Amino acid sequence: PVLTAAIASWGWQRALLIAALAMFATCAFAAIVLLREDPASMGLVPYGEGTCPPQAGDESGRGDGARAAGMASTFALIGTASVFSGILGDLNTQLNAMVQHSGFSPAIAGIAFSCISAGLFVGKIFLGWIRDKSDGRRAVLAGCGIGVVAFLGLAIALHGGSIVLLYAGSALAGFCSCLGTVVPALLCAGTYAG
């Protein structure tokens, strides 16, 4: 709503420039004040250093070269999954236009956008909770499962004109589309930990 009001007052170019400057200031603040290069201050070691003794090979008898190749292929698969999950983030920016193009009013489209934003907020917490209680794979599977239900609900709502289903599908779509930003963390935390 704030960005919409800014666009109405100052035009989209000036409003988006102000939004970009605000995002830059927020990210710069986090990078300067919150992020630390010294994991020891948090009781951690960098990049798993010291978490296991150096060995010529692991329990399976594979050497360090085979282990490194396996980790490289795992990293490539996680990177690929992260790129494809990032595409989900496009739904957040396009939902308003899709809803209006399907015949709903701008007010309803705005509420649907608020629903997907709420789903993003809750979804990140919910998927992180699943990851903490279980593992990253289950969290990703939960997000994808919710996404299937959400996209089916959205497709029916946009075609049939159901406002309640539109809002519910939008909120659930937020759960799924948050995978675009949390998939790397969910998968890497379990794969590269100790």
Q: Concatenated DSSP letters for the chain?
A: -HHHHHHHHH-HHHHHHHHHHHHHHHHHHIIIII--S-GGGGT--GGGTTSS---SB-TTS-BHHHHHHHHHHHHHHHHHHHHHHHTTHHHHHHHHHHHHHTT--HHHHHHHHHHHHHHHHHHHHHHHHHHHHS-HHHHHHHHHHHHHHHHHHHHHHHHH--HHHHHHHHHHHHHHHTHHHHHHHHHHHHHS--
Does the pTM exceed 0.85?
no
pLDDT value of position 172: 92
What's the average model confidence in pLDDT over 107-136? Answer: 87
Instruction: Please state, in angstroms and as integers, the Cα–Cα distance from residue 171 to each residue in 6, 98, 110, 175, following that order.
Output: 25, 15, 13, 7
Q: What is the pLDDT of residues 84-118, one digit of tens each?
A: 666 666 677 778 888 888 889 888 988 998 998 89
Q: 57 or 186: whose pLDDT is higher? A: 186
| Residue 152: pLDDT band with limits 50, 70, 90 | very high
Contact in structure between 95 and 149 (CB atoms under 8 Å): no
- Residue 57 forms beta bridges with which residues? 63
Distance of CA 79 to the CA centre of its chain: 14
171-183 burial string, b = 16+ CB within 10 Å, else e?
bbbbbbbbbbebb
pLDDT value of position 161: 83
φ/ψ bin of 63: left (φ > 0), alpha (ψ from -120 to 50), beta (otherwise): beta
Task: Quote the mean pLDDT of the chain.
Answer: 77
Least confident of 19-23, 63-67, 106-110: 63-67
What's the average model confidence in pLDDT over 39-51? Answer: 61
Least confident of 19-23, 55-59, 119-123, 163-167: 55-59
Separation of alpha carbons 135 and 188, rounded Å: 11
Contact in structure between 151 and 94 (CB atoms under 8 Å): no
